[in-house]
Amino acid sequence: MATSADATPSPVDLTGEIEILGRITDSSNLAVVARVSTLPGGHVIYKPVRGERPLWDFPDGTLAGREVAACVVSELGGWDVVPPTVMRDGPLGPGSVQLWIGDPFDPVADDVVVDLVPEGRAPDGWRAVFDGETPGGSAVTVVHSDADDVRSLAVLDAAINNSDRKGSHCLRDGSGRLWAIDHGVTFSPTPKLRTVLWGWAGEPLADPDVARLARLRRALAQEASRDRLLALLPEADVDALEARVALLLDERVHPFPSRDWPAVPWPPL
């Protein structure tokens, strides 16, 4: 979806009139590229609730609400890795509106965060996740960047219980800043972390990420922050978020893949 681009405009005002430009055809739910009158020169992705397909394992809440809640949690904990995202009305009804990182009509090559390399040949600065095979039969290894900001994103994903962290959902803008997108299947009260960012599994959390989790726990203890999330998520999801944050702070290690459900989304990239 998004591609590399200039750094995020500041401030970002997503309150203006929405002008729909086109539909994103490879999205599993209705998603459109649009302009917002208060964001000159920029684009947004607008995901109306009315275009969501029901998911049996996410029976409550909305995908749009989870998109916005991921941005709220990223902000509350100080990750600031999810592009500005709001819930608002639009031409197709209420939905999430998120700043598009880059120009959807003039894509350029990303600073790749997740990649494929010949099997067993992870380069310096990269972590191997698992081995596989391309449709053409070539043996490959899925690798991801070992950068500190990617490691921090893995912690955020563990906190929000992200069940769909594909490689294409991690990108860098033209300044090299990391961004994370597509958070519609997060916050389930049932453990279902699925990600390609398993390279640190079992290792101690880095001190900055412990600090982010502690900041998030303090924020969740405040009624105003909890109310922000309750406006977007079922109460059970917010309670589960608090429990996961407490567990991560108690154990202070990156979680291991589960043996009880698929630990990697498909396709991984």
> Are 61 and 188 contacting, i.e. CB atoms less than 8 angstroms apart?
no
Residue 49 lies in a domain: yes
Domain count, the chain: 1
Question: What would the mean pLDDT of 126-133 be, rounded to a whole number?
Answer: 90
User: 1-10, 17-26, 87-96: which has the minimum mean pLDDT?
Assistant: 1-10
Residue 9 lies in a domain: no
Domain with 37, as residue range(s), is 18-109+145-251
Two structure tokens written together for 201: 């599994």
Question: CA 258 to CA 256: how far, in whole Å?
Answer: 6
Question: What would the mean pLDDT of 237-260 be, rounded to a whole number?
Answer: 96
* Per-residue pLDDT at 107: 66
Which has more confidence, 70 or 112?
70
Residue 140 lies in a domain: no
Give the pLDDT band of residue 269 (cuts 50, 70, 90). Answer: confident
Give the pLDDT band of residue 235 (cuts 50, 70, 90). Answer: very high
Residue 218 lies in a domain: yes
Burial tier of 208 (Cβ tally within 10 Å: 0-12, 13-18, 19+)? middle
Residue 87 lies in a domain: yes
Burial tier of 37 (Cβ tally within 10 Å: 0-12, 13-18, 19+)? exposed
Residue 65 lies in a domain: yes
> pTM (2 decimals)?
0.92
Strand partners, 48: 95
Residue 269 lies in a domain: no
Give the pLDDT band of residue 8 (cuts 50, 70, 90). Answer: very low
